[in-house]
Structure 1
Amino acid sequence: MLELSNEQISGWVGQFLLPLFRIAAMLMVMPIIGTQLVPNRVRLYLALAISVVLVPTLPPMPQVDALSLRSLLLILEQVLIGAMFGFILQLFFHLFAVAGQIIAMQMGLGFASMVDPTNGVSVPVLGQFMLMLVTLLFLAINGHLVVLEILAESFVTLPSGQGLMVNHYWELAGKLGWVIGAGLLLTLPMVTALLVINLAFGVMTRAAPQLNIFSIGFPLTLAMGLVIFWVGLSDFGNLFQALASEALQQLSEFALVR
């Protein structure tokens, strides 16, 4: 008859469950996989599959009693680390969605909304278009594979039981201000061009008060906004690559991966 000691059970539980909680937390929060389009059961199966592949290559985990307070604290630590991984990626993706919404509002296309199937909320069509475009580009450059590689290396650089380095994460949170600069970089050229068009219509209204500016200005602003948006997409690939590299670099710094 096979008999297992408490030490053996605790070792197996810690060796498999602690990585599973970190991986599952990231998959539940990160974009693409962590959206409403992917059922929770599929995310759980994917987390189990990744854990089965990674666990044999990971360093030894701390052996603790599965029902002790220390094990609960270790699980909470893994969930926080995995959730922060997903949160950094969410910031990167929603940067483009918000930029598309700002441009849509400026060009008068804000009334054209659709339900975002990933979040279940109504957003302008340009924001949804930007989010879909960024998702496809991120998968095309194998960004999801880079994220999984950083996650696997984080078990070496951020081992379980080491504790959360609050000072390091606080400094990293201060560096996330690049998101605001990136949003301005995306929206400022198009918003400036649309502002010039609106100023031109204002001058026309002042010069010819009898001109019905609403019947002329609204469709023309909408058409010019679409043209400006189309022209702005010509260099979108290089801009996306630079921002994606910055986001993955922030993710590496969070995981202390060099």
Structure 2
Amino acid sequence: MEQKIGFIGLGNMGTAILQGILGSNIVSGTQLYVYDPHLEKGQALNQTYLVNNLDSARDVARESDIVLVAVKPNVIVDVLNDIQKELKRDTIVISIAAGVTIKTIAKCVGYEQKIVRVMPNTPALVNAAMCSITPNSEITNEDLSIVQTLLNCVGKTEIVPEYLIDAVIGASGSSPAFVFMFIEALADGAVKGGLSRKQAYKFAAQAVLGSAKLLLETGKHPGELKDMVCSPAGTTIEGVQMLEAKGFRAAVIDAVEATINKSKELAEK
């Protein structure tokens, strides 16, 4: 890949995506341009990977063919307005800000600018993200392929229309928090049964990892896989009955719905 790639913001998500791209070897460090108000972050990347550490967001926009804006939603409009005049006509602007629509981005950088809205999740930190990709009408198939190649460095991708991004946030953007709560609860139960805390976390986390892998690789319905574990009059069906009695699935559905509603509320603002 020959494009120069810029990063504005080196928080957890921006750094995770950058590290994934570096680890994939599809570009060299010298093709990357970064800026973060905490200058030591860029300095460290420069010393380790020869990444170009620049003095401002405008400098990154000026140098880059692809600009990934990885700042908080409450400041992204200011950042976009700041860099707008430095963007080339063919520069691809990627935003990972939750609740910030393509229309809002286009108001800042221009409706003819190439814009991609991406919703990643925190497993990007271990190259196991699930990212939605939503392009505007200016993005070509070639552009889309380039963006997918970059984001596949940190996990898996799916192209979705913008009206479904709120549902994506519920399904994968926020859901790692729910999964961590589930793992913690599984471990608490195991500790109550006598396992050490360290072993309990390992058993619970590996069970979640393996279950997800089994679902993805077999393509079987989760209900079918659940039934495979539930032997007649066995231990698992007792646990399933208890989860149903406590409203487990309804609680999860309500949690996802709550995140979707909050995402819509943020977008309206």
Which has the larger share of strand?
A: 2
Larger Rg: 1
Higher relative CO (Cα under 8 Å, sequence separation at least 6) belongs to 1
Q: Do Structure 1 and Structure 2 share a fold, with TM-score over 0.5? A: no
TM-score (norm 2): 0.32
